[in-house]
Every structure is written in structure tokens, then in C-alpha cells.
Amino acid sequence: MIEVENLTKRYGGHAAVDDVSFVVRPGQVTGFLGPNGAGKSTCMRMMTGLTPPTSGTATVLGRPYAALPNPGRHVGVLLDAGAQHSGRTGREVLSLGATLMGLDRSRVEEMLALVGLTAKEADRRVGGYSLGMRQRLGIAHALLGDPQVLILDEPANGLDPAGIRWMRSLLRGYADDGGTVLLSSHLLHEIEVVADELVVIGRGRIVAAGSKAELMRAAGTVVRTTDDAAFAGHLRGAGLSVEQTAGGLLVDTDAETVGKIAATHAVVLTELRAADAGSLEEMFLQLTASDAREGWRHEHRR
């Protein structure tokens, strides 16, 4: 389990992370979402003892990361795949990690096979690796010590579609076996497919958190009628927020409430349902709009 309580990091007058609290539970993949620069990486660096917090605490398995004995045996971390030693081979990187953790060298071969790096690729210097190969090597290193917890920052960067599917399957299986996974990304779609819980950060603060089902309910209701414009007036008259979308009206309440208003005004409904993932994406964009760069918006919608 990972527990973050009132975590704050200030650089001068700027709060990169501002009073952040959330829990990542065993047996689940928790997606940590937000635009580039929203504070995800700073949070994860504080969780893993690389950046001291200004205030607040972060514990992994009940202790600060730095207090864990032989931390690689308990927590697998991938924060920057590009930071690996370019002059070593992939096998040497893992062998060094195995030695430091007190592991048998056979574990290195197991991890190379698990992440799909061939013997030839493993004997190449990391400086000649593609970003996708570096990501696979980084995931292998994170899993090397058979940890209970994984903390991964943007692990899908550089992976092709087949690699992303492989990564999802790997992390899903890890969580299903009782592991704890915190997975950060600025791409909603890559996370929502595998995540059980979502934590959304914008401008250093948590702007939404909960299960996908909870956040989708919070995203509202989609309704279509024989006269959307007239029904939108009735909904606004009831004090509800209404947005016209290509798929109908998006209303910030539950379907039952919308149905009752329709019945009161004898409105014929042609569709009534909870907002889907597309509307959830719109909600995320709105929640993080002040922190989102245009490039993130475009990537987010791919």
C-alpha cells in the first residue's frame, strides 16, 4: 500500500505539489493522471525518497521509502527510462541491480524473457536502445526484486501499440496477484483501460479521485430528446448545468433526476444513460484546463 498525506513541495513561492493526499491499495492498478507539469513526477519522486517534501508524508508499505531495508526487494520504481547508464548493456544493468539486491543471477534471465528483450538485445549497450527498449529494460529492473509495490512514471512512452497492450496485461496480472501499482500518465485512454482507481492532478492539487465507475457517475448523464433545446431549458430551470454535445445533452446529475424532469414536462426521451468514457475525458479536460498545454490536449484525445 502507498499512503500520501498532505504532501507539499514548494520551490520558492511556487507550489509544485500542494497538499496532496490519496491511497493506493493492494490488488489494484491506480492511474495517476494529469497534464505534463501538473506535479505527477514530483509526487512520485517524493514517494521514492528522491525529493524531500516541504511538508506532508508519503509511506510505502507503512514506512518512508528510505526506511525500507533493501528497498528494491519491496518497491519497484521506474521514473525515467532515459536515465539508464548508456555505456552498459541491458544485461549488465540488470546484473548490477541483482547483485545490489542480493538476488541470484537467474533472475536477470527471467526478467529479460518477461519483458521480451532477446539475448542479442540484452547484450547491446543501452545507448543504442530505442525508447521502447529502454522502457522494457526499466520495467524489468523494477520487477527484478519481486516487489510488492510498483511505482511507474509514464511507462508507455516509446512503446508501440503491441508493447502498450503487453504492458497493460503485465500490470493487470501483477495487481490481480495482490500487487500494488501506481501508474502515471498524461494519456487518459492508456490508463483507463487497465486502472481500477483514478487520481487526477492539476496545478499540483488533486482535482478528482475514485473508481472509474464513481468518476463516470460524477461525469453526469447523457440525454437526447425530440427537442433538445426545449428540454435544456427545463433542465436549467431546475438549476442543473447542461452542455450541448455531439451525442446529446450532458447534464451534471444522475439519470433518475433527468428522467423525472422529463416526465414532469411530458418530454419524449430517445436516449438516457450515464455519461461514458468520452464524457469522462471531457470532465478531465475541464478539471485540468488551466494547467493543460495544447499539446497535451491533442495527445490526450488520440
Report the candidate in 231, 204, 235 with the shortest Cα–Cα distance to residue 220.
Answer: 235
How many angstroms from the chain centroid is the CA of residue 62? 22
Task: Judge whether 65 lies within some domain.
Answer: yes
- The model's confidence at residue 294, banded by pLDDT at 50, 70 and 90, is very low
Lowest mean pLDDT among 52-56, 133-137, 242-246, 256-260: 242-246
Domain boundary among 210, 242, 260: 210
> Each residue of 62-102: pLDDT tens digit?
999 999 999 999 999 999 877 888 999 999 999 999 999 99
Instruction: Tell me, yes or no, whether 287 lies in a domain.
Output: no
Q: pLDDT per residue over 159-169, tens digit each?
A: 888 888 898 99
Range of the domain at 262: 220-274
Residue 249: beta bridge partners? 223, 244
CATH number of the domain enclosing 118: 3.40.50.300
Q: In the numeric block, which cell numbers belong to residue 25?
A: 491499495
pLDDT number for residue 298? 39
Is 283 within the bounds of a domain?
A: no
**pTM score > 0.95 for this model?**
no
The amino acid present at 140, given as its one-letter code, is A
In a domain, 293, yes or no: no
Integer Cα distance of 243 and 253 in angstroms: 12
Closest residue by Cα to residue 193 from 152, 165, 157: 165
Structural element, H or E, at residue 142: helix 131-143
Residue 164 sits in the same domain as residue 238:
no
Q: Residues with Cβ < 8 Å from 248, sequence gap 6 or more?
A: 222, 223, 224, 228, 271
> How many separate domains does the chain show?
2
